[in-house]
Amino acid sequence: MTYTISKPDRHIKGNVYLDGSKSISNRALIIRALCRESFDIKNLSTSKDTQLMLQLLDSHETILDTGAAGTTFRFLTAYLASRPGSQILTGSDRMKQRPIGILVDALVQLGANIEYLERAGYPPLRIHPPKNLGSDNALIVPADTSSQYLSALLMIAPTLPNGLKLQVEGQFVSRPYVEMTLKIMEHFGVRHSWADNTITVPAQSYRAREFTVEADWSAASYYYSMAALSESCDLKLHGLFSNSWQGDAVLGGMMQSFGVESVFSNNEVQLSKVGQANPFFEWDFLPCPDVAQTLAVICGGLGVHGLFSGLETLRIKETDRISALQNELAKVHVFFSKLPARFSKKTEREYYMVEGKAEVSSLPVFETYDDHRMAMAFAVLAMLGEIEIENPMVVEKSYPAFWEDLKKLGFVIIEG
């Protein structure tokens, strides 16, 4: 299936009621499963990943298939490793290429009983009942790995007999996601301390409390992109908190470089186009990698030179997002290139440059690589001319209503 997408003008006006955050929803579901009492979760994400998490937590099957849901797989690995019973945890072909060894090694050190069924260090896993889980409560985990490993360990930490002392070594990747996990745990009565590079969570019980999931800031990024590419914008996004726990909430400040103003009131934000974009944009995406694709497309769409760093985790997402960006931006004469090693030698960082201005002509066809964020990030280029998106329903992974919400803002979508 493909969608042909166009927008008759470059004016954006309307209201969008964003879905609940997938990241927050999945954490709340794991905590509810670990809690002695159930509690209500309002505005739970309708995303495929969250609905799958909900289904698998309630499942009594011995084989649990997470499909392409990386967060679901990683959180369930830690959760199941702390529970009685044996299960096989598996996923899609792409999931079997995404490393899990660091998390498994940490859990085994804590007393978990996990074996690899195919390639060592990768899914699928057979998870047996633990042996003296938590007798060793001190772990050292590299910080330059997925923050989901750390969050998975932290959420089971209070249920361990001796709690957990988690020492994080090296440069932190996506630290705001770990901070978000700890803040959600605090909401449910779990205390922790964080001194230098060690997070300590004593043994304690989660307390059941009603919980409301904030709208998804990652989803909001696509509307910020529309605002940036617009000639005028009067758009209200509902469900976002000004004091958000989500790392992607940096969008409000980030998008000022593109002439987009954010005004908060009553858990909603008003977007306006108030000026022109700066000719140069630089950002370290290490704390917020999920919006890197969106910003690469914005830079390309406006002809802004973008200097990006902190993209280390993008190659192990739903697809190799760096390669995917390079391939698809080139279709509209925009180039996403890694800078020579001599540029980053002093800082030991990798830098990428976005160069060129998008030329949307002769109906460019964008592949999505089974990656929801590729579909949504590139859909916004329809504001510059007619485009085609392959496998558009991949958005169900995080934002099932995305295409319907675009139609409400005046985008024309034809199924082919």
Tokens of 203: 């043994």
Please report, for residues 38, 250, 367, the alpha-carbon distance to residue 69 in angstroms, rounded to integers and kept in the order given: 24, 25, 20
Q: Which is the catalytic residue, given 19, 216, 290, 371?
A: 290
Q: Which residues contact 250 (CB under 8 A, 6 or more apart)?
A: 287, 288
Is residue 263 within 8 A of residue 236, CB to CB? The reply is no
Is 290 assigned a catalytic role?
yes
- Which of 177, 181, 164, 157 is closest to 27 using CA atoms? 181
Q: Which helix (H) or strand (E) holds 141?
A: strand 138-142
Rounded Cα distance between 329 and 19, Å, is 28
Is residue 311 within 8 A of residue 317, CB to CB? The reply is no
Helices 101-110 and 147-156, packing angle to 10 deg: 20
Region class of 218: left (phi > 0), else alpha (psi between -120 and 50), else beta: alpha
Cis peptide before 289 (omega within 30 of 0): no
Is residue 7 within 8 A of residue 413, CB to CB? The reply is no
Region class of 392: left (phi > 0), else alpha (psi between -120 and 50), else beta: alpha
Looking at the DSSP bridge assignments, the partners of residue 141 are 168
74 DSSP assignment: H
Handedness of CA 123, 125, 130, 132 (dihedral sign): negative
Rounded Cα distance between 397 and 124, Å, is 20
Handedness of CA 42, 43, 46, 50 (dihedral sign): negative
Amino acid at 284: D
Rounded Cα distance between 345 and 61, Å, is 51
Residues catalogued as catalytic: 290
